[in-house]
Amino acid sequence: MKPFSDIVETYSAETAKPTKNDIIDSTEFHVGIVTIEAGREIRPHPEPYAVFFFILGGAGEFTGEDGTIELSEGDGVFLDHNEQRGIRCTESLTILGIQEAH
């Protein structure tokens, strides 16, 4: 067992560019905290792995194969292998990302 406390405070940081801080890096999956400033955008692009994003704080528009949706604190979204994915922050975002190992 490996306990974690104060995850958001410990692993998130507001910076001028999107950051990802790994929390768990195992052979089966990866868990990380992604922080992105308000007004920033990660343009849609494919990734070779599936991922689940859970919004810990803030809000943004998430783009996938089915279009764009607005997500905010407490919301989540699953994106499959090779699916186009993009994020446009309407508020500073703190995201918990759980992705399969690739």
pLDDT in tens, 7-55: 877 777 666 677 888 899 999 999 999 999 999 999 999 999 999 999 9
For residues 63-86, give the mean pLDDT: 95
At residue 26, what are phi and psi to the nearest 5 degrees? -110, 175
Percent of the chain with pLDDT over 90: 76
Confidence of residue 2 (pLDDT cuts 50, 70, 90): confident
Residue 16: predicted pLDDT: 67
Q: Are 31 and 20 in contact (CB under 8 A)?
A: no
Query: Using CA atoms, how far apart are residues 68 and 6, in angstroms rounded to an integer?
Result: 31
pLDDT of residue 17: 75
What are the structural domains, with CATH classification, of the chain? 7-100 (2.60.120.10)
What was the pLDDT predicted at 14? 65
Q: What pLDDT sits at residue 21?
A: 86
pLDDT at 13: 67
User: What is the pLDDT at residue 99?
Assistant: 95
